[in-house]
Chains A and B, each alone.
Chain A
Amino acid sequence: MQAEPLFTTTLVDLQWIGAYIAVAFLLILPRYPYALKQWLLAALNLGAVFFFFFGFKPEAYVQYGVMLAVLVMHWIILRAFHATGNDDNRLYWLAFLFPIALLVAFKAQSTLALLGASYLSFRMAQTAFELRGRPQIQVGLGEYLAFLVFPPTFSAGPISPFLYYRETATGASISLYNIGWGLLRIAIGYIKFRFLATFFQQLTFGSHWSGGFQHDLLDFMLSGASYYLYLFMNFSGYTDIAVGLGALLGIRVRENFANPFLARNVKDFWRRWHLSLTEFVRDAVFTPLSMVLMRTLGPNFATLSVLIATFATFTVLAMWHGVEAGFFIFYTAHALAFAFNQITEDMLRRRGRGVLRRYMDNPWTLWTGRVLTFLFLSATCAFLELRTWAEITKVFALMS
């Protein structure tokens, strides 16, 4: 049993990160035409991604070639979509589903593993979503490649929107303040990623339960809580580094966390955790599905429509991570808790004006909710770490 992090990267070698930033800075800072600047950045980013994430191995050349072909093919689809004023339904769905279908295909086979495939595919699908209904926006190949393989966000997100990139990739946002702020975020992220995450990893199932000794429920919760804290330090530390590196170059990268430990319930937790993914899935899955259901079923079935859409959204999130028992247990538990929160709020709302507000404003319910949410996250994060059915049964056997 081994505590595998969900988010790993080789992007921790400081001198190479420094070299990348220095060259990128020199490319962005001068006042070249935007298109030329983006082609130069694309060349740098493609080279850096190959060096940082693929390496000079025979199989890496094939993987890299496949990745590049997929990116260019998606850009060609976006070009065709733009020719219709970014409005043609068939081309939109092709641009949206092509990367998702490829992701499913890559996950279903074991011959060709493509590094960063999950994040790349969602960035491509999200770009199609962003362009829809905005006929004035045309994406150049140079800027699209530079955006998709921007090294700080390449392998572990955030799924930063294309329009964020375009707004800031001109270099106009480079300032002493942003550089100082970026360096601070990198330092904070590095401490979280290298030290705090390693500290909490010591008590996860992979480390604490590997001796084969008997354990009890308290141990289970302790290891679950450690994995929750480890995940946060690992993932948010990486995000801090990505946001900070972006700030050095004046490129805005999407924030991914909003104090998840302050969440008062599971519904609140998902407004604070892995925001770039949850907001994309909300916009692309939850909102359209719940709108269709509400229109079809009518306003009397609004809660039911929202609950069906909620379960569909959590199913997509589970499948995005992988088809394994631990992910499905985690996301099913969260979907049920989310539904419970929603039904409770609806009931309180129906009991009279101000009842829900008084419940929300009460400090006792707030802090009780925060503690219970932390315990719930600790218990369910255990299944994220254990992941396979064999590991889950092994741990439960040690508790019997």
Chain B
Amino acid sequence: MSETDIIARMLPVFQEVFDDDTLVITASTTSEDVEDWDSLSNVRLIIAIERAFGVRIKASEVAQLSDVGSLADLVAQKLAAGAGA
């Protein structure tokens, strides 16, 4: 699955967590670009992404994320590792 496909699948998760149907995300979207994206909603988002994609993300990996693209890349790695296992 490409980064674009993953971001497209992430969009409804973002819209649900941030309660905004008009929200649009790209690979370069950061927490600065989304209202209410703070450390609390970030945890909600990560857990929702885990459930949506069936992956497990470590807290240390969360600290290294810089934007939506890096989150999509991390999910892609997890999916690839899961598929290869």
Contacts and interface: CB of A to CB of B under 8 A. Distances in A.
Contacts of B51: 299
A298 to B, nearest CB: 9
Given A287-B59, A288-B59, A134 B64 contact: yes
A349 B44 CA distance: 14
A290 B42 CA distance: 11
B60 interface: yes
A299 B60 contact: no
A267 B38 CA distance: 10
B60 A282 contact: no
For chain B, give the interface size range.
20 to 34
B59 A357 contact: no
For chain A, give the interface size range.
20 to 34
A302 B44 contact: yes
A291 interface: yes
Interface in A283-338: 283, 286-288, 290-291, 294-295, 299, 302, 305-306, 309
Given A271-B38, A349-B19, A353-B19, A283 B63 contact: yes
A133 interface: yes
B30 to A, nearest CB: 15
Contact of A287 (B21, B36, B43): B43
Interface centre among A287, A309, A342, A356 (most CB of B within 10 A): A287
B44 A283 contact: no
Contacts of B39: 282, 286-287
Interface string A192-207: 0000000000000000
14 contacts: A132-B60, A133-B64, A134-B64, A287-B42, A287-B59, A291-B43, A291-B46, A295-B50, A299-B48, A299-B51, A305-B43, A342-B40, A353-B20, A357-B35
Interface of B: 19-21, 35-36, 38-40, 42-44, 46-48, 50-51, 58-64
Interface of A: 129, 132-134, 267, 271, 282-283, 286-288, 290-291, 294-295, 299, 302, 305-306, 309, 342, 349, 353, 356-357
Given A282-B39, A286-B39, 19 more contacts: A129-B60, A129-B63, A133-B58, A267-B38, A283-B62, A287-B43, A287-B59, A287-B62, A288-B59, A290-B43, A291-B59, A294-B44, A299-B48, A299-B51, A302-B47, A353-B20, A353-B21, A356-B36, A357-B35
